[in-house]
Amino acid sequence: MKKLFIIFVCLCFSTNSFSENLKKAYFAGGCFWCMEESFDKVKGVKVTTSGYSGGHVKNPTYKQVVQENTGHLESVEVVYDSNVITYTTLVNAYFKSIDPFDSKGQFCDKGYSYRSGILYQDLNQKKIIDRKILEIETKFKKKAFVILKKFNEFYKAENYHQDFYEKNFFRYLAYKKACKREERLNELWNN
């Protein structure tokens, strides 16, 4: 009995210490399918979830977010292991996956809900974001259009949006190619 108790206690402590390393971050970069794909490639990212954040409507639907004035952005929740990756590295990866100079949306998706944005959880995160924006604006000598909002709530998108780029690979590739996303990103970040 004592041995079982010790094993149970060890398991509880090891699980708790691991879960303390898992953190969440919230980014909006136009199409949340593309944002999931971008972050899933980053070492230390454990899970990405498509959803909506930053607005005033509770439990919004996709149709509401893209057609109505909900204030939400198509967003992705990124669960990451802070022992493997820092928030700063996530912010750097985020900017490499968007066009920070498009004030109307991202690539072929236009409208408020498709604007780029970061939903920060504390002042430390905001300072990291502000430094990165200043660095980009200085490098390109242009104003960046990235919405910064204090994180409040994240609403998971409908199931058919989750892992869309994997489940509907050819449709997703056709969409991404038609939007010329990769071409613009290469033009911006690989020069």
- Cα radius of gyration rounded to whole Å, the chain: 18
Instruction: Give catalytic status of residue 12 as yes or no.
Output: no
State how far the Cα of 35 lies from the Cα of 97, in Å rounded to an integer.
7
Q: Which of 10, 12, 31, 108 is catalytic?
A: 31
State how far the Cα of 182 lies from the Cα of 173, in Å rounded to an integer.
11
- Where b means 16+ CB within 10 Å and e means fewer, 35-70 reads bbbbbbebebbeebbbbbbbbeeeebebebbbeeeb
State how far the Cα of 38 lies from the Cα of 53, in Å rounded to an integer.
19
Question: Which of 149, 161, 156 is closest to 54 using CA atoms?
Answer: 149
> Annotated catalytic sites, by residue?
31
